[in-house]
Amino acid sequence: MRLVRLLLLSVVVILGDNNFDGPALYQITEPVTHAECPTWDSRNNLLYYVDVWPGTIYSYNYTSKELTSITLQGPISPVVPSKSNPNLLIAGIGRTIVAVQWNREDGTYTSKTLLTLAEDKPDSNMNDGKADKEGRIWFGTMDQDADTVNHPDRGTLYKITKNLSSPEVMIAPVNVSNGLVWNKANNKFYYIDSPTQQIAEYDYDDTSGEISNRRVTFYLKDHGLDASPDGMTIDEDDNLWVALYGGGSVIKVNPTTGDLLGRFPIPAESVTSVMWGGPDLDILFITTSRIGLTEEQIMKQPGAGSVFALTNLGTKGVPVFEADIIDSI
């Protein structure tokens, strides 16, 4: 286990109308290769995120500013806290879903394999995922090399319940299964297949866990945005906040009207995901990547691969749902 006490690394103030009470951006971690899948655990006051390819899970303690980590075997994404135990995580490693019991006091962990997805697509990996209100987990896959030009339609979005032997295909085929979120009323489900450059909206039935009536609620090209939508979260006003991979920014979208409400620059071209956190859920944590960048590009964006915190946004998030598919290992 790696334990680091972090100091504030850098601050970038995003100016608007000379309003010093406006949004401010803080770099809160050192860079890794490909930071992804941030999620907030209010019980422990922790932000979890991963560095995908080394297989590392990080936890950032909001109060102490300490960063701890464990490294598993294989590319890891996503990671979801478990309802039954605040130290139990459900994670994707390759195509396998595992339960990880992490003792942060002594740095030890144990893990248990729960099931393997996409048996018919051995060259795929899991990508983004979350738990719904009932504790079911929704994990999506993508082609291992993200080569959707030569290898299209190799991804799937699955729903997994306590009946671990029967994962249900929810959306297929997809290319790069990515951001997903539910609205406050819990009757809408939003989903991103990145290469489509679209955010899709579905009607959602929480009792059955079923989705229906797909429609496009936001298309990036209609707003002059040439980037890939990646991770996504939602605020208390039901506006979507979306990471733009290759777009160096986070956008705020009204999914009801399809309006682009704002764009917030991030000093990293590859923005991977977003998640509300902090004691009041009013801090937008943002993960980024430096994978594929040249040394010259890294010199121009040295914070690429870091986690950032965007504050003073005038809104906040909603509590994160926890996985309820296993009680202990």
Binding site membership: which residues?
36, 127, 145, 178, 230
Q: In the annotation, is 230 catalytic?
A: yes
Catalytic residue among 128, 230, 235, 324: 230
Q: Residue 318, exposed/middle/buried by CB under 10 A (0-12, 13-18, 19+)?
A: middle
Q: Please choose, from the candidates 72, 95, 98, 198, the residue with its C-alpha nearest in 3D space to the C-alpha of residue 144.
A: 95
Q: Are 58 and 70 in contact (CB under 8 A)?
A: no
SS3 of residue 40 by DSSP: strand
Which tokens sit at 8? 């504030």
Question: Which residues carry a binding-site annotation for substrate?
Answer: 127, 145
Other residues' Cβ atoms within 10 Å of the Cβ of residue 222: 12
Helix (H) or strand (E) holding 11: strand 10-13
Find all residues with CB under 8 Å of 23, minimum gap 6, and list them: 14, 16, 264, 310, 311, 312, 313
Question: Residues at the annotated binding site for a divalent metal cation?
Answer: 36, 178, 230
Count Cβ atoms below 10 Å from residue 11 Cβ, excluding itself: 10
Phi, psi of 68 (to 5 degrees): -120, 160
The string of DSSP letters for 291-320 reads: TT--HHHHHH-TTTT-EEEEE--S--B-PP
Annotated active-site positions, please? 230
